[in-house]
Amino acid sequence: MDSNTVVIFGAGATKACGGPLTNEILFRGFTNEYQIDREDFLGILNSFLTDNFFSSVPETYPSLPLLISFLDTAIDRNHALNAEWGRDKLIKAREALDYVIFAVLEHDLKRLQNNYYLKFYQNLYGHSGRLPVTISLNYDIIADNAISRWNDENGNYDKPFPDYMCDIATDFYKQKKGEGRLLKLHGSLNWLYCPSCNRMDVGISKSGRHFAKVLDELYQEVSLEQMLTCHGRPCRGCGAEVQPVMISPTYFKDYRNPHISRIWYEADQVLRKAERVIFIGYSLPDDDLDVLYLLKRGLSHLSDNQIHVVEYDENQRPLDEHPVGLRFATLFGTNINWYINGFEGFINEFNY
């Protein structure tokens, strides 16, 4: 595989490894309530859902993008929903949603069934010896872990970490940043940002030579509770409270974080130079308007047969009968390469 191949991972790739899809997060949060809840975040969410959406069971929950968009709209317009749910209480519900997203991902990542990312990179690198650019729409660190493991297994253990293509200030990360560009358009579980001085750090443990093993534990220096509750954590630069970096699945995404803006610029550049693009588990959802716009502009030089799309469909539907296939055909053309045997099947059938 040539170095001008770009791989784009969506939630379906994480799902193949045992992680959650976007609309499974609330269900998994309440299912694992006693293992992940802190400061009654799930209690706040449950009250909000039952009071405002008449949702008492997971099957009746609104979609996560709709729920977050609903809250963001009310907060942005300084509205109260009713006498019980004023703006301050809505902000608490919104914070609770962010916590639950992170907590569910952390919980599920520790119990992954397979790392198809790693198998994919092993096949891909083994055939070419070159590292393609990876673009991820996911917050999880499975791709990060796979790149670091591959570096570690192939003698690059002194520089195992992926290059996030943004200005991360953590000294240890800068010393150990190696091969493999990884552009995470929606942020990452292990990034911490200071809105006061704009410093961004990545959580890394220095213990042990095998950094890939550390990545399995999210290489955090602080616990999730400290990152996402009122206790906070001080910035190493100025002492202000840092925040996690996550662009929530909402119709009103905010990409103004300067590090996220830099990543988007780099993504635009690599897409314009791409000679082949592989989408794995990305469905072009409507709430990702900015991503769709980026892809349409950045890939306008490619013909549709230079684009590969990987989905899992137990009904084995062709491109023109599958809703995701139809969205890709509308955006890129009807001659795209369409794979319907999922991530694992693609690893075995693709001509690297």
| Contact of 27 with 120, CB cutoff 8 Å | no
At residue 158, the pLDDT reads 84
Per-domain boundaries in the chain: 1-19+112-190+248-352, 22-109
At residue 220, the pLDDT reads 42
Q: For residue 258, what are the CA distances in angstroms to 182, 190, 294?
A: 17, 17, 17
Q: Higher pLDDT residue, 39 or 249?
A: 249
Residue 219 pLDDT > 70: no
Residue 74 pLDDT > 90: yes
Instruction: Give the closest residue to 17 by CA, choosing from 145, 174, 126.
Output: 145
| Contact of 18 with 113, CB cutoff 8 Å | yes
At residue 210, the pLDDT reads 37
At residue 250, the pLDDT reads 84
Instruction: Give the closest residue to 7 by CA, choosing from 87, 88, 123.
Output: 123
At residue 206, the pLDDT reads 43
Per-residue pLDDT, averaged over 17-36, amounts to 86
Helix and strand totals (H; E) in the chain = 15, 10
At residue 173, the pLDDT reads 87
**Per-residue confidence at 107, pLDDT binned at 50, 70, 90?**
confident
Can you read off the two tokens belonging to residue 184? Answer: 């995470």
**Per-residue confidence at 230, pLDDT binned at 50, 70, 90?**
very low
CA dist 62 and 57 (Å) reads 11
**Per-residue confidence at 127, pLDDT binned at 50, 70, 90?**
low
DSSP state of 60: G
Q: What's the start-to-end Cα distance of the chain, in Å?
A: 6
At residue 352, the pLDDT reads 66
> What SS3 class is residue 166?
coil
CA dist 307 and 6 (Å) reads 10
**Per-residue confidence at 22, pLDDT binned at 50, 70, 90?**
confident
| Contact of 265 with 239, CB cutoff 8 Å | no
Instruction: Kindly tell me the sign of the dihedral angle through the C-alpha atoms of 97, 103, 106, 111.
Output: negative
Where does 1-19+112-190+248-352 sit in CATH, by number?
3.40.50.1220
CA dist 268 and 298 (Å) reads 6
> What SS3 class is residue 181?
strand
Residue 263 pLDDT > 80: yes
| Contact of 100 with 44, CB cutoff 8 Å | no
Residue 1 pLDDT > 50: no
**Per-residue confidence at 172, pLDDT binned at 50, 70, 90?**
confident
Residue 237 pLDDT > 50: yes
At residue 318, the pLDDT reads 96
What are the backbone dihedrals phi and psi of residue 320, each rounded to the nearest 5 degrees, phi first?
-80, 5
Q: Higher pLDDT residue, 43 or 129?
A: 43
Instruction: Give the closest residue to 114 by CA, choosing from 351, 350, 347.
Output: 347
At residue 132, the pLDDT reads 79
Average confidence score pLDDT of the chain: 86
Per-residue pLDDT, averaged over 194-207, amounts to 78
Range of lowest pLDDT (106-115, 133-142, 217-226): 217-226
Per-residue pLDDT, averaged over 32-53, amounts to 86
Range of lowest pLDDT (29-38, 189-198, 282-291): 29-38
Return the percentage of the chain with pLDDT > 90, whole number: 49
At residue 227, the pLDDT reads 53
